[in-house]
Amino acid sequence: MRREYVRALGAAAFAAVMVAAAGCQESGGGDSDAAACGGKIAVFGAFTGDNAGLVLPSLNGAKLAVKQHNESKADCQVTLQQFDTQGDPAQATPVANQVAGDNSFLGVIGGHFSGETDATMPIYEAAGMAMISPSATRIDLTQKGNKAFHRVVGNDGTQAAAVATYLKGQNAQKAFLIDDGSAYGAGITAELGKNLGSSMAGSDKIQEKQSQFDATISKIKAAGADFVFYGGYTREAAPLVRQMRSAGITAKFIGPDGLYDPAFPEGAAGGADGAIITCPCLPPDKAGGTFGADYQKEYGQPPGSYGAEGFDAAQIFLDAFDAGKQSRKDILDFVNSYDKQGVSKYIKFDANGDVDPSKVVIWSYQVTGTQFTPLEELKLS
Protein backbone atom coordinates (compact mmCIF):
# COMPACT_ATOMS: atom_id res chain seq x y z
CA MET A 1 0.00 0.00 0.00
CA ARG A 2 2.82 2.41 0.85
CA ARG A 3 4.56 1.89 -2.53
CA GLU A 4 1.32 2.49 -4.45
CA TYR A 5 0.70 5.62 -2.43
CA VAL A 6 4.18 6.99 -3.02
CA ARG A 7 3.91 6.38 -6.77
CA ALA A 8 0.56 8.14 -6.89
CA LEU A 9 1.91 11.08 -4.95
CA GLY A 10 5.03 11.26 -7.11
CA ALA A 11 2.91 11.53 -10.26
CA ALA A 12 1.39 14.69 -8.86
CA ALA A 13 4.55 16.06 -7.30
CA PHE A 14 4.56 19.31 -9.24
CA ALA A 15 0.80 19.84 -9.33
CA ALA A 16 -0.93 22.58 -7.40
CA VAL A 17 -3.00 21.24 -4.51
CA MET A 18 -5.54 24.04 -4.69
CA VAL A 19 -6.21 26.78 -7.24
CA ALA A 20 -5.56 30.36 -6.28
CA ALA A 21 -8.16 33.08 -6.31
CA ALA A 22 -8.39 36.57 -4.95
CA GLY A 23 -10.32 38.90 -2.71
CA CYS A 24 -11.25 38.75 0.96
CA GLN A 25 -11.72 41.02 3.92
CA GLU A 26 -8.52 41.81 5.81
CA SER A 27 -8.62 40.36 9.33
CA GLY A 28 -6.54 40.68 12.45
CA GLY A 29 -6.94 44.43 12.87
CA GLY A 30 -6.11 47.37 10.63
CA ASP A 31 -8.06 48.57 7.56
CA SER A 32 -11.38 46.77 7.21
CA ASP A 33 -11.80 47.75 3.54
CA ALA A 34 -11.68 44.99 0.95
CA ALA A 35 -8.12 43.82 0.39
CA ALA A 36 -6.37 41.19 -1.66
CA CYS A 37 -6.28 37.80 0.02
CA GLY A 38 -4.73 34.45 -0.72
CA GLY A 39 -1.58 33.51 -2.57
CA LYS A 40 0.87 30.72 -3.32
CA ILE A 41 3.34 28.81 -1.17
CA ALA A 42 5.77 26.02 -1.98
CA VAL A 43 6.54 22.85 -0.06
CA PHE A 44 9.59 20.70 -0.76
CA GLY A 45 11.02 17.46 0.56
CA ALA A 46 11.49 13.72 0.06
CA PHE A 47 8.07 12.90 -1.35
CA THR A 48 9.44 9.86 -3.18
CA GLY A 49 12.49 7.69 -2.61
CA ASP A 50 13.79 5.45 0.15
CA ASN A 51 12.99 7.84 3.01
CA ALA A 52 9.70 9.29 1.78
CA GLY A 53 7.63 7.55 4.45
CA LEU A 54 9.10 9.91 7.04
CA VAL A 55 7.97 13.01 5.12
CA LEU A 56 4.62 12.15 3.57
CA PRO A 57 2.58 12.65 6.78
CA SER A 58 3.92 16.20 7.03
CA LEU A 59 3.06 16.91 3.40
CA ASN A 60 -0.41 15.50 3.95
CA GLY A 61 -0.85 17.64 7.06
CA ALA A 62 0.00 20.76 5.07
CA LYS A 63 -2.34 19.76 2.25
CA LEU A 64 -5.14 19.17 4.76
CA ALA A 65 -4.67 22.64 6.28
CA VAL A 66 -4.86 24.27 2.84
CA LYS A 67 -7.90 22.23 1.82
CA GLN A 68 -9.81 23.10 4.98
CA HIS A 69 -8.89 26.76 4.61
CA ASN A 70 -10.01 26.96 0.99
CA GLU A 71 -13.27 25.16 1.71
CA SER A 72 -14.12 27.61 4.49
CA LYS A 73 -12.92 30.80 2.77
CA ALA A 74 -14.05 30.95 -0.82
CA ASP A 75 -12.81 34.52 -1.14
CA CYS A 76 -9.29 33.77 0.14
CA GLN A 77 -7.91 30.85 -1.84
CA VAL A 78 -4.37 29.53 -1.37
CA THR A 79 -2.26 27.37 -3.67
CA LEU A 80 0.21 24.85 -2.26
CA GLN A 81 2.67 23.62 -4.89
CA GLN A 82 4.88 20.67 -4.02
CA PHE A 83 8.40 19.91 -5.20
CA ASP A 84 9.96 16.49 -4.74
CA THR A 85 13.65 16.70 -3.79
CA GLN A 86 14.00 13.15 -2.38
CA GLY A 87 15.65 14.94 0.56
CA ASP A 88 18.79 15.47 -1.52
CA PRO A 89 20.56 18.85 -1.18
CA ALA A 90 21.67 18.61 -4.82
CA GLN A 91 18.04 18.33 -5.94
CA ALA A 92 16.72 20.84 -3.42
CA THR A 93 19.06 23.63 -4.53
CA PRO A 94 17.70 24.12 -8.09
CA VAL A 95 14.17 23.87 -6.67
CA ALA A 96 15.00 26.68 -4.25
CA ASN A 97 16.36 28.80 -7.09
CA GLN A 98 13.20 28.17 -9.09
CA VAL A 99 10.88 29.03 -6.22
CA ALA A 100 12.84 32.05 -5.04
CA GLY A 101 13.03 33.38 -8.60
CA ASP A 102 9.25 33.16 -9.08
CA ASN A 103 7.67 36.15 -7.39
CA SER A 104 4.28 34.43 -7.24
CA PHE A 105 5.61 32.29 -4.37
CA LEU A 106 5.30 34.15 -1.08
CA GLY A 107 6.63 31.53 1.36
CA VAL A 108 7.97 27.99 1.58
CA ILE A 109 7.36 24.96 3.81
CA GLY A 110 10.58 22.98 4.22
CA GLY A 111 13.02 21.56 4.17
CA HIS A 112 12.13 18.33 5.82
CA PHE A 113 15.68 17.00 6.13
CA SER A 114 18.51 18.99 7.65
CA GLY A 115 20.89 18.63 4.71
CA GLU A 116 18.51 20.01 2.11
CA THR A 117 17.47 22.72 4.54
CA ASP A 118 21.04 23.86 5.13
CA ALA A 119 21.74 23.94 1.39
CA THR A 120 18.70 26.08 0.55
CA MET A 121 18.53 28.49 3.49
CA PRO A 122 20.83 31.11 1.88
CA ILE A 123 18.71 31.13 -1.28
CA TYR A 124 15.45 31.81 0.54
CA GLU A 125 17.22 34.28 2.81
CA ALA A 126 18.43 36.28 -0.19
CA ALA A 127 14.90 36.25 -1.60
CA GLY A 128 13.38 37.44 1.70
CA MET A 129 11.07 34.43 1.84
CA ALA A 130 9.82 32.99 5.11
CA MET A 131 10.86 29.36 5.40
CA ILE A 132 9.06 27.11 7.91
CA SER A 133 10.29 23.57 8.49
CA PRO A 134 8.10 20.89 10.09
CA SER A 135 10.98 18.49 10.78
CA ALA A 136 14.54 19.75 10.14
CA THR A 137 16.12 19.32 13.57
CA ARG A 138 19.89 19.90 13.33
CA ILE A 139 20.88 22.37 16.03
CA ASP A 140 23.03 24.73 14.01
CA LEU A 141 20.33 25.52 11.44
CA THR A 142 19.14 28.29 13.73
CA GLN A 143 22.62 29.39 14.76
CA LYS A 144 23.81 30.77 11.42
CA GLY A 145 22.19 34.19 11.59
CA ASN A 146 19.62 33.28 8.95
CA LYS A 147 16.50 35.44 9.31
CA ALA A 148 14.25 33.52 6.93
CA PHE A 149 14.37 30.06 8.54
CA HIS A 150 11.91 28.92 11.22
CA ARG A 151 10.92 25.50 12.52
CA VAL A 152 7.90 24.28 14.44
CA VAL A 153 9.80 21.34 15.92
CA GLY A 154 12.40 20.89 18.64
CA ASN A 155 16.05 20.49 17.72
CA ASP A 156 18.42 17.55 18.07
CA GLY A 157 19.70 18.83 21.40
CA THR A 158 16.32 18.36 23.07
CA GLN A 159 15.79 14.95 21.51
CA ALA A 160 19.30 13.74 22.39
CA ALA A 161 18.77 14.83 26.00
CA ALA A 162 15.51 12.88 26.11
CA VAL A 163 17.16 9.77 24.64
CA ALA A 164 19.97 10.00 27.20
CA THR A 165 17.44 10.25 30.03
CA TYR A 166 15.57 7.25 28.62
CA LEU A 167 18.76 5.16 28.41
CA LYS A 168 19.68 6.03 31.98
CA GLY A 169 16.19 5.06 33.08
CA GLN A 170 16.67 1.71 31.36
CA ASN A 171 19.97 1.21 33.23
CA ALA A 172 21.92 1.07 30.00
CA GLN A 173 25.48 0.10 30.83
CA LYS A 174 27.07 -0.13 27.39
CA ALA A 175 25.44 1.96 24.69
CA PHE A 176 27.00 1.72 21.25
CA LEU A 177 26.38 4.69 18.93
CA ILE A 178 26.29 4.57 15.13
CA ASP A 179 25.61 7.35 12.64
CA ASP A 180 25.33 7.53 8.87
CA GLY A 181 27.52 10.61 8.41
CA SER A 182 24.57 12.74 7.21
CA ALA A 183 23.98 16.25 8.51
CA TYR A 184 21.12 14.91 10.59
CA GLY A 185 22.49 11.55 11.70
CA ALA A 186 25.95 12.73 12.70
CA GLY A 187 24.49 15.75 14.50
CA ILE A 188 22.03 13.99 16.76
CA THR A 189 24.45 11.12 17.50
CA ALA A 190 27.15 13.57 18.55
CA GLU A 191 24.69 15.34 20.83
CA LEU A 192 23.70 12.04 22.44
CA GLY A 193 27.35 11.12 23.00
CA LYS A 194 27.84 14.30 25.01
CA ASN A 195 25.11 13.16 27.40
CA LEU A 196 26.05 9.53 28.00
CA GLY A 197 29.35 9.70 29.85
CA SER A 198 30.76 6.34 30.97
CA SER A 199 27.76 4.39 29.66
CA MET A 200 28.94 4.96 26.09
CA ALA A 201 30.70 1.73 25.09
CA GLY A 202 31.83 2.71 21.61
CA SER A 203 30.84 4.27 18.32
CA ASP A 204 31.11 3.81 14.58
CA LYS A 205 30.25 5.59 11.36
CA ILE A 206 28.74 4.07 8.27
CA GLN A 207 28.03 5.65 4.90
CA GLU A 208 24.79 6.62 3.25
CA LYS A 209 23.68 3.91 0.78
CA GLN A 210 25.82 1.31 2.56
CA SER A 211 24.18 -2.13 2.60
CA GLN A 212 26.65 -4.46 4.37
CA PHE A 213 27.64 -3.86 7.99
CA ASP A 214 29.98 -6.69 9.02
CA ALA A 215 32.65 -4.37 10.41
CA THR A 216 30.18 -2.40 12.50
CA ILE A 217 28.54 -5.56 13.80
CA SER A 218 31.94 -6.88 14.90
CA LYS A 219 32.53 -3.68 16.86
CA ILE A 220 29.13 -3.94 18.56
CA LYS A 221 29.92 -7.50 19.62
CA ALA A 222 33.36 -6.54 20.89
CA ALA A 223 31.85 -3.75 22.98
CA GLY A 224 29.33 -6.11 24.60
CA ALA A 225 26.65 -3.47 23.96
CA ASP A 226 23.28 -3.73 25.67
CA PHE A 227 21.84 -0.83 23.63
CA VAL A 228 22.57 0.24 20.06
CA PHE A 229 21.61 3.75 18.98
CA TYR A 230 21.49 4.52 15.27
CA GLY A 231 21.38 8.11 14.03
CA GLY A 232 20.26 8.26 10.42
CA TYR A 233 17.50 7.20 8.09
CA THR A 234 15.58 4.08 7.14
CA ARG A 235 17.49 3.13 4.00
CA GLU A 236 20.55 2.04 6.02
CA ALA A 237 18.88 1.30 9.36
CA ALA A 238 16.64 -1.49 8.08
CA PRO A 239 19.43 -3.73 6.71
CA LEU A 240 21.67 -2.84 9.65
CA VAL A 241 19.24 -4.08 12.30
CA ARG A 242 18.31 -7.08 10.18
CA GLN A 243 21.98 -8.10 9.92
CA MET A 244 22.52 -7.42 13.64
CA ARG A 245 19.78 -9.88 14.54
CA SER A 246 21.07 -12.46 12.07
CA ALA A 247 24.48 -12.16 13.74
CA GLY A 248 22.95 -12.96 17.14
CA ILE A 249 23.08 -9.44 18.61
CA THR A 250 20.21 -9.02 21.06
CA ALA A 251 21.02 -5.48 22.24
CA LYS A 252 18.02 -3.17 22.35
CA PHE A 253 17.85 -1.02 19.22
CA ILE A 254 16.93 2.64 19.54
CA GLY A 255 16.75 5.39 16.95
CA PRO A 256 15.47 8.94 16.59
CA ASP A 257 12.76 10.36 14.34
CA GLY A 258 14.62 9.57 11.12
CA LEU A 259 13.38 5.99 11.59
CA TYR A 260 9.74 6.88 12.21
CA ASP A 261 8.94 5.53 8.78
CA PRO A 262 6.84 2.46 7.79
CA ALA A 263 9.71 1.36 5.53
CA PHE A 264 11.92 0.77 8.59
CA PRO A 265 10.08 -2.24 10.07
CA GLU A 266 9.13 -3.42 6.58
CA GLY A 267 12.75 -3.44 5.42
CA ALA A 268 14.03 -4.95 8.67
CA ALA A 269 11.92 -8.07 8.06
CA GLY A 270 11.10 -8.59 11.73
CA GLY A 271 14.48 -7.43 13.00
CA ALA A 272 13.01 -4.14 14.19
CA ASP A 273 10.44 -5.70 16.52
CA GLY A 274 10.75 -4.10 19.94
CA ALA A 275 12.90 -1.23 18.66
CA ILE A 276 12.36 2.14 20.35
CA ILE A 277 11.94 5.20 18.16
CA THR A 278 11.90 8.71 19.61
CA CYS A 279 10.38 11.74 17.95
CA PRO A 280 9.61 15.37 18.80
CA CYS A 281 6.22 14.70 17.24
CA LEU A 282 2.88 13.86 18.78
CA PRO A 283 0.84 10.65 18.74
CA PRO A 284 -2.38 11.15 16.73
CA ASP A 285 -4.63 11.41 19.77
CA LYS A 286 -2.46 14.07 21.42
CA ALA A 287 -2.75 16.68 18.67
CA GLY A 288 -5.03 19.62 19.28
CA GLY A 289 -8.54 20.17 18.00
CA THR A 290 -9.95 17.69 15.52
CA PHE A 291 -6.70 17.26 13.60
CA GLY A 292 -6.28 13.51 14.23
CA ALA A 293 -9.85 12.69 13.21
CA ASP A 294 -9.72 15.03 10.22
CA TYR A 295 -6.49 13.46 8.98
CA GLN A 296 -7.89 9.95 9.43
CA LYS A 297 -11.00 10.88 7.46
CA GLU A 298 -9.03 12.52 4.67
CA TYR A 299 -6.33 9.88 4.19
CA GLY A 300 -7.79 6.71 5.69
CA GLN A 301 -4.94 6.32 8.18
CA PRO A 302 -3.72 8.10 11.32
CA PRO A 303 -1.08 10.80 10.93
CA GLY A 304 2.44 9.49 11.28
CA SER A 305 5.62 11.44 11.89
CA TYR A 306 5.19 15.21 11.75
CA GLY A 307 1.65 15.23 10.38
CA ALA A 308 0.57 17.78 12.98
CA GLU A 309 3.74 19.82 12.47
CA GLY A 310 3.14 19.95 8.71
CA PHE A 311 -0.38 21.20 9.39
CA ASP A 312 0.97 23.90 11.71
CA ALA A 313 3.61 25.06 9.23
CA ALA A 314 0.93 25.57 6.58
CA GLN A 315 -1.47 27.19 9.04
CA ILE A 316 1.01 29.95 9.85
CA PHE A 317 1.07 30.98 6.20
CA LEU A 318 -2.72 30.66 5.94
CA ASP A 319 -3.10 32.99 8.91
CA ALA A 320 -0.80 35.46 7.19
CA PHE A 321 -2.94 35.46 4.06
CA ASP A 322 -6.09 35.81 6.13
CA ALA A 323 -4.50 38.88 7.71
CA GLY A 324 -4.13 40.40 4.25
CA LYS A 325 -0.37 39.91 3.92
CA GLN A 326 0.54 40.01 0.24
CA SER A 327 4.30 40.43 -0.01
CA ARG A 328 7.25 38.30 1.00
CA LYS A 329 8.38 40.96 3.45
CA ASP A 330 4.99 41.30 5.11
CA ILE A 331 4.62 37.55 5.42
CA LEU A 332 8.11 37.18 6.87
CA ASP A 333 7.31 39.89 9.42
CA PHE A 334 4.05 38.09 10.24
CA VAL A 335 5.84 34.79 10.79
CA ASN A 336 8.44 36.44 13.02
CA SER A 337 5.70 37.82 15.25
CA TYR A 338 3.49 34.71 15.21
CA ASP A 339 2.06 33.93 18.65
CA LYS A 340 -0.68 31.32 18.61
CA GLN A 341 -1.66 27.82 19.68
CA GLY A 342 -1.15 25.23 16.96
CA VAL A 343 -2.28 21.61 16.82
CA SER A 344 1.22 20.35 17.72
CA LYS A 345 2.21 22.96 20.31
CA TYR A 346 2.07 26.65 21.15
CA ILE A 347 4.02 28.40 18.41
CA LYS A 348 6.06 31.52 18.97
CA PHE A 349 9.49 31.89 17.39
CA ASP A 350 12.56 33.32 19.07
CA ALA A 351 14.99 35.60 17.25
CA ASN A 352 16.75 32.57 15.73
CA GLY A 353 13.59 30.90 14.43
CA ASP A 354 13.21 28.21 17.09
CA VAL A 355 10.02 27.53 19.02
CA ASP A 356 10.01 27.77 22.80
CA PRO A 357 11.88 24.67 24.05
CA SER A 358 9.49 24.45 26.99
CA LYS A 359 6.71 23.68 24.50
CA VAL A 360 8.65 20.88 22.79
CA VAL A 361 7.69 17.31 23.66
CA ILE A 362 9.57 14.11 22.83
CA TRP A 363 7.66 10.84 22.58
CA SER A 364 8.89 7.27 22.49
CA TYR A 365 7.32 4.72 20.17
CA GLN A 366 7.83 0.95 20.04
CA VAL A 367 7.92 -1.00 16.82
CA THR A 368 5.44 -3.86 16.86
CA GLY A 369 5.24 -5.67 13.55
CA THR A 370 4.98 -2.77 11.12
CA GLN A 371 3.31 -0.39 13.57
CA PHE A 372 4.67 2.39 15.79
CA THR A 373 2.93 2.20 19.15
CA PRO A 374 3.17 5.33 21.36
CA LEU A 375 4.72 4.55 24.74
CA GLU A 376 5.33 7.69 26.75
CA GLU A 377 6.43 11.30 26.69
CA LEU A 378 10.12 11.41 27.54
CA LYS A 379 11.65 13.78 30.05
CA LEU A 380 14.37 16.07 28.80
CA SER A 381 16.49 15.76 31.92
When the pLDDT of each residue in the chain is averaged and rounded to a whole number, the result is 90
Q: What is the pLDDT averaged over residues 279-285?
A: 89
Query: In angstroms, rounded to a whole number, what is the distance separating the alpha carbons of residues 121 and 248?
Result: 44
The values of phi and psi at residue 205, to 5°, are -120, 140
pLDDT tens for each residue of 69-92: 999 999 999 999 999 999 999 999
**What 8-state DSSP symbol labels residue 361?**
-
Tell whether the model's pLDDT for residue 25 goes beyond 60.
Answer: no
**What pLDDT shows up at residue 17?**
37
Domain spans of the chain? 2-154+284-349, 157-279+362-378
Do the domains 157-279+362-378 and 2-154+284-349 match in fold? yes
**What pLDDT shows up at residue 237?**
97
Report helix, strand or coil for 175: strand
The CATH superfamily of 2-154+284-349 is Response regulator (3.40.50.2300)
**What pLDDT shows up at residue 35?**
60
**What 8-state DSSP symbol labels residue 374?**
E
The answer to whether the pTM exceeds 0.75 is yes
pLDDT tens for each residue of 202-252: 999 999 999 999 999 999 999 999 999 999 999 999 999 999 999 999 999
The values of phi and psi at residue 255, to 5°, are -145, 160
Instruction: Tell me the CATH number of domain 157-279+362-378, given options 3.20.20.30, 3.30.590.10, 3.40.50.2300, 3.40.50.1100.
Output: 3.40.50.2300
Tell whether the model's pLDDT for residue 14 goes beyond 50.
Answer: no
Residues 6+ apart with CB under 8 A from 112: 44, 45, 46, 54, 55, 58, 87, 133, 134, 135, 136, 306
pLDDT tens for each residue of 32-52: 334 689 999 999 999 999 999
Tell whether the model's pLDDT for residue 174 goes beyond 60.
Answer: yes
Tell whether the model's pLDDT for residue 10 goes beyond 50.
Answer: no
